[in-house]
């Protein structure tokens, strides 16, 4: 058994290839598919069409380089400053994943449309996104800071989130071993004197709760000192239906959000 | 210079004042009667994680405060249960580090840091759950699939035996169990297509005395529950500490999932002895009986949970029972003399089986069969409970169960097998529709009926300890270590440790003072009453 393992890991030991030696190999594609499920699907979705954190990998659009060598590097060492981690895979496993991804992607990338500059104007203007969301130091504090949202959410996720903020966001998969994120939970607390404070949960445990109210004031309460705590079913984010944003405007905003990659307020360092 | 006679006299004085920090087999058998010490992973052979100590009780627990803290300077899931023998605490930590400290002060006496290989295929962190002890030796099951004996006075290695090849996915994470003169361990690696085993080693020499393969080979009973040669990589790890009935001379050990965990297409059949509790002859390792909880599992529901031994009356007659709070969501009660199934009842949300039938097999619902697109099933892969210990208090007559309310989307596709590589047959995720939560629940062991629960806002990973002080201790994912009234479930005290608690508490007494211990993050906390 060990000899098989050694053989597999040393198969490419002569040095890193620049082109995928397993390109088009049906067996490699099959192995890559199962490897992808184990190591990649959590963020990129079961079928690589994008998940809640990783972009769609079937469009032929590669933000960090699309050559075989680029993909090998991206998978192996990750993308610093993004959620894409380094992966402890053998060279063979990495090439198998690339062979699988190539089997899904078109010859020419599809144009997803959308004009980021128009999207930016909408974001800070008529669409009122910046009332609650901050980008590079400008905007509100109630919602998540979106300065690096393009690294963390796929365009598909953002599109659905804008149209139906309360919908079950599919294909949204969570790591079974990780804690639940708190970023979008609305809550109303009622104090002993009857005061109602609505806001977004910043943290919560069995005994305490921390929130930001609609006026961006921070509160921290001992639960036993409150009269009641109402976890709101709906997000405070309004749905952006077609009557508010038409398809073109939606694409513009998503295009703007997608290119927010975390550069500082001063621009790219 | 000291004269020879003075030196001799000094040595005699020193030796008469030293603590007798060593443990006999007889002391382990009677561990429950000496609650000052904590002599096994679960406190005694029964697996009840209960202590007769009652200095800390429901009336004064509000005065509980940290007596000391010990920082290991490693980070991750700190899952150890320390042993305490005559005022000295022995515990393991991440990366197979280990420590002996003064149990009153937390001051280190020695440290052991195992040099582990840089790349070990291990699913769930470089965790270790603790030592076993006999005489002047401490026994550690190491992540590199070695069993190691340390000198309890120095931390020096006395023997070091390789049990399996870690490169193929065989590892150890559990605290061993000493039975008579043997050190018993079970292997981890159910995510890597191993063939599981339970081993016994001579405590004195490290020589392996027996091995029970948890997946039977050709010409062995049960091999026909596997398709072709799938038994060779069938899983059935045994990665939590078992229990022991000295009267029956039976070791009870639970086993884990079949490999690949999510895809049954390559291993049709019941897949014995995966997800079982096994009753093994302590002297020979021969199988006396088994009970399988989840045949042909596709949800990674290791049944490795602690097989708890209870002596209770059934129809007014004393009966030797085995309680198993299973990851598949059911609480099971068996007769531990022969494995007779008595009943099973859900203790958490179960959507995969209508019931456990009178023969002990689940009556499956359609959602129980995984496919490529995936189906949402409750409980999720981490289970309705997991490795965190349950507890039973003879004072209240209640079982304390740590329940996780989390469902998962399970998918299945064929996956080629490569030795030493994750062998899962696809993966599982938690769907975004529902935030996982959990609870500490108190059950009537004879009916499975819930008597009380304390809800957690996240799905917990901390075990439970009950004491004669009328208390239950446990922890949550928000970092709290919490004391509950064992009879009512009311939370009486809590302390924020600063990290999600992945540990089962224990307690001990030194110098007339009771301490309660929990590990969290990189820190071991020991609590006692303040004035």
Domains of chain A: 2-104 (1.10.760.10), 116-173+239-258 (1.10.760.10), 186-231 (2.30.30.100)
How far apart, in Å, are the Cα atoms of B75 and each of A237, B117, B489?
37, 18, 32
Greater confidence (A18 vs B227) lies with: B227
pLDDT band, very low/low/confident/very high, at B277 (cuts 50, 70, 90): very high
pLDDT value of residue A47: 82
Q: Report yes or no on B453 lying in a domain.
A: yes
Can you tell me the distance from the alpha carbon of B369 to that of B346, in angstroms, rounded to the nearest whole number?
A: 20
* Confidence grade of residue B210 (pLDDT, cut at 50, 70, 90): very high
Residue B239 covered by a domain: yes
Domain count, chain B: 1
Task: Select which of B300, B302, B408, B476 is catalytic.
Answer: B300
Cβ–Cβ gap B477/A5 under 8 Å: no
User: Which neighbouring-strand residues pair with B402?
Assistant: B440
Whole-model pTM: value is 0.89
Strand partners, B186: B198
pLDDT at A173: 55
Asked if B456 has any chain A CB less than 8 Å from its own CB, the reply is yes
Residue A174 to residue B432, Cβ atoms within 8 A: yes
Which range among A250-259, B155-164, B170-179 shows the weakest confidence by mean pLDDT?
A250-259
The reply to whether B343 falls in a domain is yes
Output the pLDDT for position B8.
54
Confidence of residue A194 (pLDDT cuts 50, 70, 90): very high
Residues 130-169 in B contacting A (C-alpha not used; CB under 8 Å): 165, 167-168
Chain A residues whose CB is inside 8 A of the B419 CB are: 1-2, 4-5
Contact (CB<8Å) B431/A179: no
Residue A138: is its pLDDT beyond 60? Answer: yes
> Is A89's pLDDT higher than 60?
yes
pLDDT at B216 over 90: yes
- The answer as to whether B289 is a domain residue is yes
Lowest mean pLDDT among A20-29, A72-81, B6-15, B285-294: B6-15
3-state secondary structure of A234: coil
Q: Is the pLDDT of residue A263 over 90?
A: no
| Angle, helix A91-104 to helix A26-39, in steps of 10 degrees | 100
Q: Mean pLDDT in chain B? A: 94
Exposure pattern of A188-211 as b/e (b: 16+ CB <10 Å)?
A: ebeeeeeeebebbbbebbbbbbeb
User: How much is the pLDDT for A148?
Assistant: 84
Question: B404 lies in a domain?
Answer: yes
Give the pLDDT score at A79.
85
Q: What is the pLDDT of residues B415-456, one digit of tens each?
A: 888 899 888 887 777 776 678 899 999 999 999 999 999 999
B300 located within any domain? yes
* DSSP 3-state of A98: helix
What six digits make up the tokens of B267? 């291993």
Cβ density class B181-219: b for 16+ within 10 Å, e for less: bbbbbbbbbbbbbbbbbbbbbebeebebbbebbbbbeee
* Residues of chain A with C-beta less than 8 angstroms from the C-beta of B167: 2, 5
Does the structure show a pLDDT above 80 at A114? yes
Considering only residues B346 and A181, tell me which one the structure prediction assigns the higher pLDDT.
Answer: B346
What are the structure tokens assigned to B110, written together?
């020695």
List chain B residues with CB under 8 Å of A42: 427, 429
- Residues of chain B positioned with their CB less than 8 A from the CB of A173: 409, 429-432
Q: What local confidence, expressed as pLDDT, does residue A155 receive?
A: 82
Q: pLDDT grade, residue A86 (50/70/90)?
A: confident
**Cβ–Cβ contact B433 with A under 8 A:** yes
Closest CA to B526 of B497, B500, B484: B497
Do the Cβ atoms of A2 and B167 come within 8 Å?
yes
Residue-level pLDDT at B153: 96
- For B80, the domain range is 64-529
CA distance A165 to chain B (A): 13
Instruction: Reply yes or no on whether the pLDDT at B488 is more than 50.
Output: yes
Q: Is the pLDDT of residue B7 over 80?
A: no
- The least confident of B5-9, B82-86, B305-309 is B5-9
Tell if the CB–CB gap between B429 and A37 is shorter than 8 Å: no
Interface of B with A in 91-130 (CB under 8 A): 119
Shortest distance between the Cα of B60 and any Cα of chain A, in A, equals 20
Q: Do B424 and A169 touch (CB under 8 A)?
A: no
Interface of A with B (CB under 8 A): 1-2, 4-5, 8, 30-31, 33-34, 37-38, 41-42, 46, 52, 88, 93, 168-170, 172-177, 179-180, 204-207
The whole-number pLDDT of residue A168 equals 55
> Searching chain A, which residue's CA lies closest to the CA of residue B500?
A179
Nearest beta carbon to residue B430 from set A30, A93, A176 = A176
Residues of A whose CB is below 8 A from B479: 205
Place A74 in a pLDDT band, splitting at 50, 70 and 90: very high
Instruction: Look up residue A90 and give its DSSP letter.
Output: -
Contact criterion met (CB below 8 Å) for B494 and B480: yes
- For helices A2-10 and A91-104, the axis angle rounded to 10 degrees is 60
Using a CB-CB distance cutoff of 8 angstroms, which residues of chain A are in contact with residue B263?
none
Task: Work out the number of other CB atoms within 10 angstroms of the CB of residue B242.
Answer: 29
Q: Looking at residue B518, what is its pLDDT? A: 98
What confidence score (pLDDT) does residue A264 get?
Answer: 47
Which of B410, B374, B393 lies closest to B470 in space, CA to CA? B393
B434 min Cα distance to partner chain A (Å): 10
Taking only the tens place, the pLDDT of each residue in B93-148 is: 999 999 999 999 999 999 999 999 988 988 888 999 999 999 999 999 999 999 99
Residues in CB range of B6: below 8 A, 6 or more apart? none
Give the one of B406, B413, B418 whose C-beta lies nearest to A8's C-beta: B418
Question: In this predicted model, what pLDDT tens digit does every residue of B448-459 receive, in sequence order?
Answer: 999 999 999 999
Position B444 scores a pLDDT of: 98
Contact B476 A206 (CB under 8 A): yes
Q: Which residues on chain A are in Cβ contact (under 8 Å) with B491?
A: 206
> Annotated catalytic, B300?
yes
| Domain presence at residue B95 | yes
> How would residue A215 be classed by pLDDT, with cut points 50, 70 and 90?
very high
Token readout for B504 is: 């089962």
Which residues in B lie closer than 8 A to residue A41 (C-beta atoms)? 427, 429
The residue of chain B with its CA nearest to that of A88 is: B119
* Residue A87 · residue A78 · CB < 8 Å: yes
Q: For the domain that residue B248 is a member of, what is the CATH number? A: 2.140.10.10
Pick the residue from chain A with its C-alpha nearest to B413.
Answer: A34
For residue B129, is it within any domain?
Answer: yes
Tell me what pLDDT residue B244 has.
Answer: 98
Distance from the A126 Cα atom to the nearest Cα atom in chain B, whole angstroms: 31
Range in A151-160, B405-414, B415-424 the model is least confident about: A151-160
Instruction: Give the model's pLDDT for residue A10.
Output: 39
Place of tokens 């500082």: A264
Residues 172-211 of B with CB under 8 A from A: none
The answer to whether A49 and A56 are in contact (CB under 8 A) is yes
For residue B288, give both structure tokens.
Answer: 């006396």
Mean pLDDT to the nearest integer, B484-493: 98
Q: pLDDT at residue A2 above 50? A: no
Give residue B118's pLDDT: 87
Residue B519 has pLDDT above 60, yes or no: yes
Q: What pLDDT is stored for residue A266 in this prediction?
A: 41
């Amino acid at each position: 058994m060990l000899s098989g393992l050694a053989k597999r890991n040393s198969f490419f030991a002569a040095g890193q290839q620049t082109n995928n030696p397993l390109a088009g190999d049906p067996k490699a594609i099959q192995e890559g598919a199962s490897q992808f499920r184990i190591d990649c699907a959590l963020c990129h979705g079961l079928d690589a069409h994008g998940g809640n954190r990783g972009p769609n990998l079937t469009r032929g659009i590669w933000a960090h380089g699309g050559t075989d060598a680029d993909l090998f590097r991206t998978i192996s060492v990750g993308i610093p400053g993004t959620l894409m981690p380094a992966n402890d895979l053998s060279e063979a496993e990495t090439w198998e994943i690339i062979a699988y991804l190539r089997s899904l992607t078109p010859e020419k990338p599809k144009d997803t449309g959308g004009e980021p500059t128009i999207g930016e104007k909408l974001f800070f203007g008529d669409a009122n996104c910046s009332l609650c969301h901050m980008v590079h130091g400008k905007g509100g504090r109630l919602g998540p800071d979106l300065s690096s949202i393009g690294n963390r959410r796929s365009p598909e996720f953002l599109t659905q989130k804008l149209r139906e903020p309360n919908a079950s966001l599919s294909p949204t998969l969570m790591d079974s071993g990780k804690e639940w994120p708190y970023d979008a939970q609305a809550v109303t607390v009622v104090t002993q004197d009857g005061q109602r404070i609505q806001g977004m949960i910043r943290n919560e445990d069995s005994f305490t709760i921390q929130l930001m109210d609609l006026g961006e004031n921070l509160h921290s309460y001992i639960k036993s000192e409150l009269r009641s705590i109402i976890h709101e079913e709906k997000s405070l984010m309004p749905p952006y239906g077609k009557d508010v944003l038409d398809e073109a405007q939606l694409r513009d905003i998503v295009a703007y959000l997608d290119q927010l990659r975390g550069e500082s307020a001063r621009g790219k360092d | 210079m000291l004269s020879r006679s003075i030196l001799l006299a000094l040595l005699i004085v020193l030796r008469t004042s030293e603590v007798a920090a060593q443990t006999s087999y007889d002391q382990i058998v009677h561990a429950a009667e000496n609650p000052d010490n904590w002599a096994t992973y679960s406190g005694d052979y029964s697996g009840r994680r209960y202590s007769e100590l009652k200095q800390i009780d429901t009336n004064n627990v509000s005065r509980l405060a940290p007596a000391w803290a010990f920082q290991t300077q490693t980070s991750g899931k700190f899952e150890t249960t320390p042993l305490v023998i005559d005022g000295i605490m022995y515990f393991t930590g991440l990366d197979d580090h280990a420590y002996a400290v003064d149990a009153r002060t937390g001051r280190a006496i020695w440290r052991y840091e195992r040099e582990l290989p840089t790349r070990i295929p291990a699913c769930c962190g470089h965790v270790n759950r603790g030592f076993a002890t006999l005489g002047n030796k401490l026994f550690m099951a190491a992540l590199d699939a070695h069993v190691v004996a340390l000198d309890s006075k120095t931390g020096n290695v006395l023997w070091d035996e390789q049990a399996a090849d870690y490169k193929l996915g065989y590892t150890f994470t559990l605290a061993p169990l000493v039975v008579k003169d043997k050190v018993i361990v079970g292997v981890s690696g159910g995510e890597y297509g191993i063939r599981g085993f339970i081993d016994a080693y001579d405590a004195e020499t490290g020589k392996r005395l027996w091995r029970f393969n948890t997946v039977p080979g050709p010409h062995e009973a049960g091999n026909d529950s596997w398709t072709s040669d799938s038994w060779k990589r069938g899983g059935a790890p045994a990665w939590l500490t078992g229990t022991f009935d000295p009267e029956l001379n039976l070791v009870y050990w639970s086993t884990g999932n079949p490999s690949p965990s999510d895809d049954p297409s390559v291993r049709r059949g019941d897949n014995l002895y995966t997800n079982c509790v096994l009753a093994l002859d302590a002297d020979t390792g021969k199988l006396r009986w088994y009970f399988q909880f989840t045949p042909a599992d596709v949800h990674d529901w290791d049944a490795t949970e602690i097989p708890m031994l209870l002596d209770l009356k059934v129809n007014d007659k004393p009966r030797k029972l085995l309680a198993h709070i299973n990851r598949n969501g059911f609480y099971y009660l068996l007769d531990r003399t022969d494995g007779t199934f008595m009943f099973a009842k859900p203790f958490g949300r179960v959507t995969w089986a209508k019931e456990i039938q009178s023969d002990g097999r689940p009556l499956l619902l359609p959602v129980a069969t995984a496919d490529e697109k995936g189906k949402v099933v409750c409980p999720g892969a981490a289970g309705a409970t997991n490795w965190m210990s349950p507890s039973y208090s003879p004072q209240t007559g209640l079982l304390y169960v740590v329940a996780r309310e989390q469902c998962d989307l399970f998918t299945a596709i064929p996956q080629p097998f490569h030795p030493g590589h994750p062998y899962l047959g696809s993966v599982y995720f938690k769907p975004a529709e529902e935030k996982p939560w959990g609870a500490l629940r108190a059950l009537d062991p004879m009916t499975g009926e819930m008597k009380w629960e304390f809800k957690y806002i996240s799905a917990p990973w901390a075990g439970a300890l009950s004491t004669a002080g009328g208390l239950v201790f446990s922890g949550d994912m928000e970092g709290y270590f919490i004391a509950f009234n064992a009879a009512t479930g009311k939370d009486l005290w809590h302390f924020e440790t600063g990290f999600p608690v992945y540990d089962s508490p224990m307690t001990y007494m030194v110098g007339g003072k009771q301490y309660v211990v929990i590990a969290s993050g990189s820190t071991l906390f020991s609590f006692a009453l303040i004035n």
